[in-house]
Structure 1
Amino acid sequence: MRQNSARRTALLDAAIEVLAREGSRGLTLRAVDAQAGLPIGTCSNYFRNRDELLLQIAGRTHERITPDPDQVTQTMRAKPDRDLVTLLMRQLQGRMEADRAGYLAMLELRLEATRRPGLGRELNKVLSQVLEDNVRFHLDAGLPGDRIDVVVLYLVMHGMILDDLTVPEVLAPYAGADLVGEFTRRLLADDTVRAG
């Protein structure tokens, strides 16, 4: 059967909204159809079952938070120093805040992956590649820091975003602080590039 790629994307976006709002238990093919405003049964024409839908959601969430290539090109015109790393981290935070549902859906997928070995294998593969791509981008751009610094940045950013989007009161006392600027300053103590 021939499928409409725009409709597939709309179904995945609807699934992300359902997953973020209702959690994994609320994610059914019928709920996705309703969220997308499509006739019952549409989702099952595009995804054989819920497991296939979960795997496809992982890819779609990644697409949604991937920065616009033109913005990356513009941003990377700056000097490759700690200030640029800080800007990149702020842009990442902005993308996550702008797509709160996508980030929350990915958290739900991570939890579901602990119960579904197939999804776990796929998420491990995808997220490992994302981390490696981030490390390679950082090093190839000549930004300060080494592989471990990039991994620490990844962990700190995800921890901060997790709290910000799920339990914002935790960080509320620090609302006036430039947390992103602080942790890049502390982690990347100087602008020298260390061996990767």
Structure 2
Amino acid sequence: MSIRHGLLALLEPGPRYGSRLRSEFEERTGTTWPLNVGQVYTTLGRLERDGMVEQRGGDASGRILYALTDVGRAELRDWFERPVDRESPPRDELAIKLVMAMGVPGVDIRAVIEGQRRHALEILREHTRQRAQAMAAGPSHRDEVARLLVLEQLVFRAEAEVRWLDHCESRLVRLAEAAATQPPA
């Protein structure tokens, strides 16, 4: 997740202070990805170091305001134009867990899969419930639609995980059946 670029996007309309950026980020993402205010200020410091934001004095409460620079605007435009690279996905803990479990004696891989499937289905039910609530409210404001898009992405991701786990289990069943029909070495 690019917090860096998310903050640049939130600064595009005008200067903001760190805790406001944090709350706007969480509102836009439907509180799905909470941010620590320290993480916001650390990222702002790096963006300032890289010339993408600058301090613009303070507000009436003395909070430091940050503003987007031309370099930051160019980086933001480039980010929106550049597709997200899915060729080199981040390491997936679940995939690593399953392949490692296959080689560890005494681990019931099907139990691991079933436990994960139950968890994924719980998550799916919760995201589906949240999506239904958002739809019932009749999203009309941009932030409400943005929250709905995030929830739908989470629903689709959970559905895909359940399908993949079903696939893993059926592959393991076929492997066990094939092993059972082979003569002993």
Q: Smaller-chain TM-score range?
A: 0.3 to 0.5
Structure 1 or 2, whichever has the larger Rg, is: 2
After TM superposition, the score normalised by the length of structure 2 is 0.33
The answer to which structure has the higher strand fraction is 2
After TM superposition, the score normalised by the length of structure 1 is 0.32
The answer to which structure has the higher helix fraction is 1
